[in-house]
Structure 1
Amino acid sequence: MRDGALKGGEARQGAAATCEDAPDGDWGTEAAHGAPRYQVWAVSGIPEVAPGDDLGKLIAAAEPGLADGDVLLVTSKIVSKAEGRVVRAADREVAIDAETVRVVARRGAMRIVENRQGLVMAAAGVDASNTPSGMVLLLPEDPDGAARAIRDGLRDALGVNVGIVITDTFGRPWRTGLTDVAIGAAGVRVLDDLRGGTDAHGNPLTATVVATADELAAAGDLVKGKAAGRPVAVVRGLAHVVADDHGEGARAMVRPARDDMFRLGTSEAVREAVRQRRTVRAFTDEPVDPGVVRRAIALAVTAPTPHHAIPWRFVLLESEESRTRLLDAMRDKWIVDLRRDGKSEESIAKRVRRGDVLRNAPYLVVPCLVMDGSHTYGDARRDGAKREMFVVAAGAGVQNFLVALAGERLGSAWVSSTMFCRDVVREVLALPEEWDPMGAVAVGHPVEEPKPRPGRDVGAFVEVR
């Protein structure tokens, strides 16, 4: 048994250079051990790969005893290195953008995207591990094509018919931890379609399609290791998964858009996004990423508007100095107004304290209503209704903004305070006269998760005619 080999799922130790437990051809049969078995080991002796290297030749030199029916699990990083798919780490975000065709999910700096190969993964597969300092690797240009080239190279060098799986590390929805999966393949039956058959109890199988290539990739990762410098593993004893031709490749494992139940989210996901939006009044000291706020604004301005207008502006108070200056001026204005209204000093202090949610937030946003795109009807009644339309649109935009912030795991509180001293807000923030502040939104990381929202009877809010 080879160093680090796994046999039948059990880790073994030893230093023999060849398999001594069973003769070639007995792996995967019931003859020797009474049950199907396979062997998997990592290949040692593959040198550091450089652009232009022939991987087939390198693997053949390191593992000359390959046999027909073996499957090789090849880490995508050495394929990328051989292809020269290396860029400077400073250009990583630009590289991710270039490799991305669709952003699936985003939280903070983390992006889950669909890349040009159709794979949905973090950062489009752009990776800084096991690379020279200051550099990052892109995924292979054509993983299936790379697998075919390695397979052809091994056939030429050793005269063997083997399967090749190019692997990369994935996270998985609803599961913690990473595993290797197949991103390229040649000579391997990547999927085992069991539909139309029956299980051991005679029950019909109607939905079972086994991702054989992914199972092989995960088996190889158990012996390759992430930092051991062994980028290739061999599986022996599963010759039934090896084909004579190159086969359809791992691209066949990418679920087409028409079959993706989660591509546009689900009705429950939409409901959860709205429910997650809660008023948060206590924030930690953790700074807010301005890029996250801008992404939320990009969703805010997709709200419906009258007359194809653009009725929103969002003023971002990103410095403590700007927040303090505005809130101090607003407080002074409120105190003057409340005293003029005859309120007691105790009542005034209580009302002023309500503004603490804004003062304690690490980030403030002042949404403003503008009447761009509006026109005059000529009578007061219709012009009043026109403004109401724009106010409703502004509210829809702010609601989008709050929901988007919640999706980024940020808490928020929409406070009406700026509406009561619009002149002061415009003066302090140097805003145009036609901008109407529509409250202020406190933004930050919540101190604690909000308590469950009490249920409400929908029927109490509905009238049917």
Structure 2
Amino acid sequence: MSAPSAPPSFRVWAVPGLPEVQPGDDLAKLIVGAGPGLVDGDVVLITSKIVSKAEGRVVRASDREAAIDAETVRVVARRGTLRIVENRQGLVMAAAGVDASNTPAGTVLLLPVDPDASARQIRDGLRDALGVSVGVLVTDTFGRPWRNGLTDVAIGAAGVRVLDDLRGGTDAHGNPLSATVVATADELAAAGDLVKGKAEGLPVAVVRGMSHVVAGSGPAGAGASDPAAGSGWEGARAMVRGAADDMFRLGTSEAVREAVTLRRTVRDFTDEPVDAAAVRRAVAAAVTAPAPHHTTPWRFVLLESQTSRVRLLDAMRDAWIADLRDDEKSAESIAKRVRRGDFLRRAPYLVVPCMVMDGSHAYGDVRRDTAEREMFVVAAGAGVQNFLVALAGERLGSAWVSSTMFCRDVVRDVLGLPDGWDPMGAVAVGHAAAPPVARAARDAGAFIEVR
């Protein structure tokens, strides 16, 4: 009978004796000089600060905020002076990773330009100097949503299986694993931070006993070199969740501003079906708009079947053609104008927002009655704007056009709407077939008058 195998374990320790890092230093040589006693399968954890210093990412900045601005791609959330942003490396973190600690006064440290490339260079240097196959992680300190406290995570990796995809396997009870992908590199980074500390001046740590996650070492199957991309070995960049899969991409007070920015007029859609529940959530946002006299002047007619969409669009087209003929437009001009609305037929989902004036006041005075209707029209527009922004937050494209306003009787008749419902255009909804075209910047000051 064979002896039971030892339970899994690993050892982690900090590497003392590294000198103060200067621009141009070879980090692999400095680590070798500290005598870490590396062997095949070890994982070397290196604080990003010394990588930045060696790569000359120390810049003069009398204003740290300006340096953060320069490194920021997208502001996710802001509270006072604190900003959570997406930086040039694609990482979502506080202050874009710009650090004013452990650097001379009047300077700041920026993150390495390409942390994965930095990790590869250090790994190659260690292999050349010591003849060992190790993994290298470049680490940095992150806060986490919903959790107090900081921890280290991997922002650069070489020779380490950063993600361990267990999907398709089973647990100890035989239950299928359908969503379990372990962030191995982040777990290693956090383990290293326990011994490196934040103020002890120990920027490098070594983990031993995890050779099964190091390329070119450990049990058979690990491979003689880094396996192909897509298998968890492709670097720490693989750990950054893409925008399409990020359920929490929008921040706090920035959520509305970001959704407004995302909102575009989209006229070209894919064939992907629209989630009816998402549209209903957008309607729920629409009806929070302000309205006069505590009224609710919004109604949204959802055309979810192709039959209803075609029937409405055919009737509207016929009415439009009749109007254009009455205006003595040429056949060519009529055909051209009608073609402009063809995108409505290609949209997988249509919504007809309507205004109702239930609760409005009748004054018997033209001026006041006109103003009363205008208040309701403004409220209807506010509701539609909420609707469009909420659709953008659901990652749905939309186009609001005025077409139904020119044939309201036709629309009411085809859709069986009450006489008091005034169609306020039509909204085409779907998944955009292409990324939105960059919007020209507008200076808000050009639209402001101060008195």
TM-score band by shorter chain is 0.5 to 0.7
> 2:62 aligns to what SS in structure 1?
helix
Whether the 8 Å contact between 2:76 and 2:251 is mirrored in structure 1 is no
Please show how residues 8-47 of structure 1 align to structure 2 within 5 Å. 34-47=6-19
Whether the 8 Å contact between 1:75 and 1:232 is mirrored in structure 2 is yes
For residues 109 and 450 of structure 2, the distance between their equivalents in structure 1, rounded to whole angstroms, comes to 49
CA distance 1:33–1:224, shift in 2 (3 Å): farther
Matched AA of 1:73: L
For residues 382 and 436 of structure 1, the distance between their equivalents in structure 2, rounded to whole angstroms, comes to 30
The answer on 1:145 being equivalent to 2:132 is no
Divergent runs of 4+, >6 A: 30-33, 393-396
Please show how residues 262-341 of structure 1 align to structure 2 within 5 Å. 262-264=248-250
Measured after TM superposition, the shift of residue 264 of structure 1 is 3.9
Aligned partner (choices 169, 189, 199) of residue 197 of structure 1 = 169
CA distance 1:139–1:393, shift in 2 (3 Å): farther
CA distance 1:141–1:388, shift in 2 (3 Å): same
Measured after TM superposition, the shift of residue 138 of structure 1 is 0.7
CA distance 1:392–1:204, shift in 2 (3 Å): closer
For residues 196 and 391 of structure 1, the distance between their equivalents in structure 2, rounded to whole angstroms, comes to 54
Whether the 8 Å contact between 1:195 and 1:208 is mirrored in structure 2 is yes
Q: Which residue of 2 aligns with 1:258?
A: 244
Aligned partner (choices 165, 178, 196) of residue 224 of structure 1 = 196
Tell me the alpha carbon deviations over residues 441-461 of structure 1, each in whole angstroms, 9 at most, x when there is no partner: xxxxxxxxxxxxxxxxxxxxx
Aligned partner (choices 183, 188, 192) of residue 211 of structure 1 = 183
Q: Which residue of 1 aligns with 2:205?
A: 233
CA distance 1:200–1:107, shift in 2 (3 Å): same
Provide the aligned length of Structure 1 versus Structure 2: 264
Aligned partner (choices 10, 20, 26) of residue 54 of structure 1 = 26
The answer on 1:184 being equivalent to 2:156 is yes
For residues 172 and 222 of structure 1, the distance between their equivalents in structure 2, rounded to whole angstroms, comes to 17
For residues 248 and 131 of structure 1, the distance between their equivalents in structure 2, rounded to whole angstroms, comes to 31
Whether the 8 Å contact between 2:40 and 2:133 is mirrored in structure 1 is yes
Aligned partner (choices 66, 70, 86) of residue 98 of structure 1 = 70
The answer on 1:70 being equivalent to 2:70 is no
For residues 200 and 142 of structure 1, the distance between their equivalents in structure 2, rounded to whole angstroms, comes to 39
For residues 92 and 177 of structure 2, the distance between their equivalents in structure 1, rounded to whole angstroms, comes to 28
Whether the 8 Å contact between 2:48 and 2:140 is mirrored in structure 1 is yes
Matched AA of 1:142: D
Whether the 8 Å contact between 2:159 and 2:214 is mirrored in structure 1 is yes
For residues 93 and 118 of structure 1, the distance between their equivalents in structure 2, rounded to whole angstroms, comes to 19
Matched AA of 1:191: L
> 2:150 aligns to what SS in structure 1?
strand
Q: TM-score, normalised by structure 2?
A: 0.54
For residues 129 and 256 of structure 1, the distance between their equivalents in structure 2, rounded to whole angstroms, comes to 30
> 1:49 aligns to what SS in structure 2?
coil
Whether the 8 Å contact between 1:71 and 1:234 is mirrored in structure 2 is yes
Q: Which residue of 1 aligns with 2:409?
A: none
For residues 371 and 171 of structure 2, the distance between their equivalents in structure 1, rounded to whole angstroms, comes to 70
Identity of matched residues, %: 76
Q: Which residue of 2 aligns with 1:116?
A: 88
Measured after TM superposition, the shift of residue 88 of structure 1 is 2.9
CA distance 1:31–1:257, shift in 2 (3 Å): farther
CA distance 1:31–1:216, shift in 2 (3 Å): farther
Q: Which residue of 2 aligns with 1:3?
A: none
Whether the 8 Å contact between 1:192 and 1:210 is mirrored in structure 2 is yes
Tell me the alpha carbon deviations over residues 32-68 of structure 1, each in whole angstroms, 9 at most, x when there is no partner: 9821111110001111111111111111111252111
For residues 196 and 395 of structure 1, the distance between their equivalents in structure 2, rounded to whole angstroms, comes to 48
Q: Which residue of 2 aligns with 1:10?
A: none
> 1:90 aligns to what SS in structure 2?
coil
Root mean square deviation of aligned Cα = 3.2
Q: Which runs of 5+ in 2 are unaligned?
A: 217-224, 227-232, 257-288, 291-365, 387-448
For residues 204 and 371 of structure 2, the distance between their equivalents in structure 1, rounded to whole angstroms, comes to 72
Whether the 8 Å contact between 2:77 and 2:251 is mirrored in structure 1 is no
The answer on 1:249 being equivalent to 2:231 is no
Q: Which residue of 2 aligns with 1:384?
A: 371
Q: Which runs of 5+ in 1 are unaligned?
A: 1-29, 271-302, 305-378, 400-434, 438-465
CA distance 1:32–1:110, shift in 2 (3 Å): farther
Tell me the alpha carbon deviations over residues 16-43 of structure 1, each in whole angstroms, 9 at most, x when there is no partner: xxxxxxxxxxxxxx98982111111000
Measured after TM superposition, the shift of residue 389 of structure 1 is 6.6
CA distance 1:31–1:139, shift in 2 (3 Å): farther
> 1:258 aligns to what SS in structure 2?
helix
Whether the 8 Å contact between 1:64 and 1:158 is mirrored in structure 2 is no
For residues 76 and 188 of structure 2, the distance between their equivalents in structure 1, rounded to whole angstroms, comes to 27
> 1:45 aligns to what SS in structure 2?
coil
Measured after TM superposition, the shift of residue 133 of structure 1 is 2.5
Q: TM-score, normalised by structure 1?
A: 0.52
Measured after TM superposition, the shift of residue 92 of structure 1 is 1.3
For residues 200 and 221 of structure 1, the distance between their equivalents in structure 2, rounded to whole angstroms, comes to 31
Matched AA of 1:120: V
CA distance 1:197–1:32, shift in 2 (3 Å): closer
Q: Which residue of 1 aligns with 2:281?
A: none
